[in-house]
Structure 1
């Protein structure tokens, strides 16, 4: 069973260990410290604990911490959009955890924030992430050619989106 839980400082060491996987780092933004140290985990978790409602959640599978998922709400004229990001620790890949976590986080986002659009940028080599988004009714909106410089390589960024049902909108 997959569930999303609020952050807790007690998982900082495990969080740092999971984040330090080079495969996890290679699939994400460079703003994440590399290496990701225990102090980085504690600082990040402390920031998350202050946000109400929570923008990020821990992913648990079979009552064990296995990853993280969250949103960043955009600003200015894009304030009705959020970017979703997530990772599952490598030992837990292939169990359908990301698919279920994305569903839970998408529902949570649409129910708790004035958001009408969730976006996910996926680097061109991360086909498994694209598959889990597709399973959650995200649609490929665009391919931004040569948009990313990651590890010295120029790669494409695939932009996946999920729109809230218009009947659910309140303005």
Structure 2
């Protein structure tokens, strides 16, 4: 468990988080603002993701994904590193989502600060990337508050619903 503040903390995901994931991820806003979360979100999607999380934890000998939890322990979001560049890379991609009732309270800004520092310190990363869709400026604000810089628009960078989509690439680098 890693305390974020007096109202939320992050911890490893568990099998019991599958129902919370189904509850919160059946939200079209989350679907529209993320690349890898399907809609509608089903229990098998949650179980597949939790299996992936266990594999990544084993491979890296530490968590790469965390549940964001409120003070009662309920999962209200998720944050983590995709490890798309591989275990030994100097960079990684950061992703996150937060349940609708908890948005707009600064929670994700505080979570991204803690997890970014984890990436630099525990994974030895030198560069964090966070591609966001242009229609999601709130995510850009979260990143900017944490020292990420919009490096530019990457055209046709991802495919969503079989259509090429642009992203704005945000990055934060560790300084010597």
Task: Compute the TM-score of the two structures, normalised by the length of structure 1.
Answer: 0.86
2:11 to 5, 14, 20: 5
Residue by residue over 1:74-126, the C-alpha shift from the partner in whole angstroms, topping out at 9 and shown as x without a partner, is: 437x9211000000011111111110110111011112112110000010010
Q: Which residue of 2 aligns with 1:106?
A: 116
Contact 2:85 2:92 in 1 (8 A): no
**Residues 1:143 and 2:148 are matched in the alignment:** no
**Residues 1:48 and 2:58 are matched in the alignment:** no
Contact 1:3 1:60 in 2 (8 A): yes
Q: Which residue of 2 aligns with 1:169?
A: none
Worse-matched range after superposition: 145-154 or 61-70: 145-154
5 Å-filtered alignment, 1:73-92, equals 73-75=83-85, 79-92=89-102
Contact 1:7 1:45 in 2 (8 A): yes
Contact 1:2 1:100 in 2 (8 A): no
Q: Which residue of 2 aligns with 1:20?
A: 26
CA distance in structure 2 between the aligned counterparts of 1:111 and 1:83, rounded to whole angstroms: 15
CA distance in structure 1 between the aligned counterparts of 2:37 and 2:135, rounded to whole angstroms: 19
Q: What secondary structure, in the 3-state scheme, does the structure 1 residue paired with 2:40 have? A: coil
Pairwise CA RMSD: 2.0
2:40 to 35, 40, 60: 35
Aligned length: 164
1:61 to 27, 45, 70: 70
Q: Which residue of 1 aligns with 2:82?
A: 72
The structural deviation recorded for 1:61 is 2.9
Give 5+ residue unaligned stretches, structure 2: 1-6
Contact 1:74 1:80 in 2 (8 A): no
